[in-house]
Structure 1
Amino acid sequence: MKTFELYEQYLEQGKGLQEARKRYDDKVQEAEQALADAKVKLDEVIHAELASGADKGKEKAAARKAIEQAEKDVAHAVEERSIAYKHFSGPGGSITSAQIVQAYLNEYVPAVKEEHLTDIKARMEQGQALIMSALYDFYRLKREYRDIVPKIQVINDVAVRTGEQSGSYYIPNPFENRAETGFDPYKLGDQLTRVADGYELPDGVKYIGQAFEMKEEK
């Protein structure tokens, strides 16, 4: 598969954006955890005061101040993340999604076709020409030998009437049976469908990887 370089760069750019998002998410989580820890500290101070009966006014004030600061830190972290996400939801980098689509349609697809489709098309045309030429010769020969069949049939009938042979024989055209050519359009259709579905080439089919020179009859 041909490398789509701009797409690979876009993916690398996306990894950078994911890392940036994670940094802002981590800041919010850290601030929220600090707030939770500050609230736990206040609970601990209050429980200690109740258990000992001692005045813990200074410790409680410090704990409440820590909670207030932690709440501000959470609000700031959430606000910064929101602003950052608005940026990330847009182009978010030097390579935009629209540029990838246009590069794929106008550069990548034509390059891949030029690299592979030209030879495939040549082999398709050769394959069709070979099949059509072979069938053309088969049916031409069938017509060419058509007239001799009834003549031999008459002689066959005479031989029976005169007792020269005990029975009548079926007199065929040498090219009567298309199956003898090895070409079965129904089987070919089924094989083509299987190949299109991803199956390997059928047994007995020789893979031809490139077009070959075909000489035209003069």
Structure 2
Amino acid sequence: MRRLSGVFLFLFLCGLSLGASKLTAQMTPAAPFGEDTGPELFGLAGVIQPLNNLTDNTGAYGIVIPPDVMMGGEVTYWASRAVGIGVMGLYSPATLEAVAGGPGRGPGTLGEMEYLAGTVNLTFRLRSSGSAGALEPYVTMGGGLRQLKFYGAEVPKLSATDPMATAAIGVRVHLLSSVWFRGELRDMASYYISATTDASKLQNDIGITIGFGVRY
């Protein structure tokens, strides 16, 4: 998983290098206001790294989602040169693992699961005035739902659907024509309620994604 994260970091830096080259070579005036609004579609892939256990050790074992691949997409409508609203969906074919809970008990895989997240996001971007917007740093925030679908024996019940808040920073890089590259670091925060203890626990799932998209 560390090697996979390194691959995505390498691709992210390659995209920035391409954008920087374009930035220095392309010194045309910025596009007039109104020519940079409308829909945008991105396909995304990356890794997800949960920072917290779903449940802590309560005498038997705790539960954790290990790092895994993640994919998805986002459709954004840019209402102005600075503000856009988007709908994002993310999916990870993750697993659940037990955290050791006593002498002689070791961690192990409990079974396969699906990690699903859907959010509505408000995005603010910074356009480059001297290069027709070859680089677009941005911040985004929003909210939605996170669903965990566990396919093993649920004793106790592990699947859950919870409200989720999200925030991210990233950069879009204009590659050619209407094609853009994107790299992003996203935090997805939610509360998981244990069916055993009824206690809620804050979850912070970090997503690192890259992607390519088309702006119309």
**TM-score normalised by length of structure 1:** 0.20
Higher share in strand: 2
Higher share in helix: 1
Q: Which has the larger radius of gyration?
A: 1
**TM-score normalised by length of structure 2:** 0.20
